[in-house]
Structure 1
Amino acid sequence: MNKVAIRPIQKNDLFLLWELIYKEQAPEWKRWDAPYFPHQPMTYEAFLPQGETWCHADDIWVVTVNEEVCGIVTYYWEHEPSLWLEVGIVLHEAKHWGKGIGTVALTKWMTQLFTTIPLVRVGFTTWSGNERMIRVGEKLGMREEARIRKVRLFEGQYYDSVRMGVLREEWPF
């Protein structure tokens, strides 16, 4: 059984995070995480100043499976005065996909956020080509709140931008 956890990033996580995120020109995970935006690989030395800001940050944590770092969860303020927050998740290696790890990690992350920030709503934006992420949102009790049709171009095909969200009073976890 996989033990999924989330935790703040520590300095000793940075090299592995660099390898997972920035070492390759075209990592497989990028085909699912907003592939219509460019990905820029970088050297570890170039990554380090950015990575060090992630250590013990509130808005980016690591996802671990059996204590091995396998991804990240994040949030950003869409509009902080109204407490409009969006979350994200990336599991960087295909061996972790399709096993429910993302659902567990995002459940823990959203529970953390609802517990520590006086949020009314938590949401995320994905694209219609990432059916797994849409299913994760549905499993978490999220609703599709907006669909902007044919605005994401990937490999010559147009996809929809999909926004999903859940209100605090709807949060089932």
Structure 2
Amino acid sequence: MAENIIIRPIKKDDLHTLYAMMHDKKTGIPEWKKWDAPYFPYKRPSFRSFRNQILDGMVEGMRYLIINAGQIIGMVTYYWEHRSSNWLEAGIVIFNPDYWSGGYGTKAMYLWIDHLFATLPIVRCGFTTWSGNGRMMKVGEKLGMTLEARLRKCRFYNGNYYDSIRYGVLREEWLEQKGVLYDKLFGNYSHSHFNSSTFTKDVLDNPQKV
């Protein structure tokens, strides 16, 4: 059940399991890749290359695992679009299709966005997807994010053109709505657990801490 969703940092012990889930030799192009920017060619990396990439991101906490009932089901990420402006983009991948369309992605993305606002001096959090991925667009809508941009017919995949889509939410918007969102997604909202407004202001005032 999606109520058991948590996110946590990647550990070295996770790397072989994660690699097998993402880049199974038997499946050719993984099913998840058909929805995650499939217009970019897929090339299966070696384990060494994969490990080095993940380890580099672990230092800054740029990738977390999505765990459901103790099992890895996906990963959330972020990257800097323009670091000096504190502009980042978030991402999410659920590897196993059995966990698609069950609310897992929305809940994991909620936890990730809340974590990013609580730990980084950002004033906005967003993600980019494409019009062929309706599930990802629904995640943005369910989380109260704004459709900030639609670049029409700029992605070409399987003989068709698709739009590039951008969703975003500002820090003040997130702080205002996150309690209501949490109640809808997880149940009763706990102010003591999610009252991060003081901490996030401190992060903004003291960016050297992060």
TM-score range, shorter chain: over 0.9
Structure 1 position 21, deviation (Å): 1.5
The TM-score, its normalising length taken from structure 2, stands at: 0.78
Structure 2: unaligned runs, 5 residues or longer = 179-210
Deviations 1:107-160 (A, max 9, x none): 000000011112111000000000100000011111110110001111000000
Q: 1:116 to 1:103 in 2, by over 3 A?
A: same
Percent identity (aligned) = 49
Deviation at 1:85, TM superposition (A): 1.0
User: TM (normalized to structure 1)?
Assistant: 0.94
Number of the residue aligned with 1:23: 24
Task: Identify which range, 33-42 or 45-54, moves more after superposition.
Answer: 45-54
Which residue matches 1:14?
Answer: 15
- Alpha-carbon spacing, 1:6–1:56, altered in 2? closer, same or farther (3 Å): farther
Letter in 1 for 2:15: L
Matching residue of 2:108: 105
In 1: Cα distance, 2:71 partner to 2:81 partner: 31
Give the strand-richer structure, 1 or 2.
1
Cα distance change of structure 1 residues 21 and 57 upon mapping to structure 2, 3 Å threshold: farther
Structure 1 unaligned blocks of 5 or more: none
For CA contacts below 8 A with separation 6 or more, give which structure has more relative contact order: 1
Determine which of 64, 71, 78 is the counterpart of 2:81.
78
RMSD: 1.4
The answer to whether the Cα contact below 8 Å between 1:23 and 1:43 also exists between their aligned partners in 2 is: no
Check conservation: 1:126, 1:162, Cα contact below 8 A.
yes
Answer yes or no: is 1:37 the counterpart of 2:46.
no
Equivalent pairs counted in the alignment come to 173
CA contact 1:22–1:43 (8 Å) conserved in 2: no
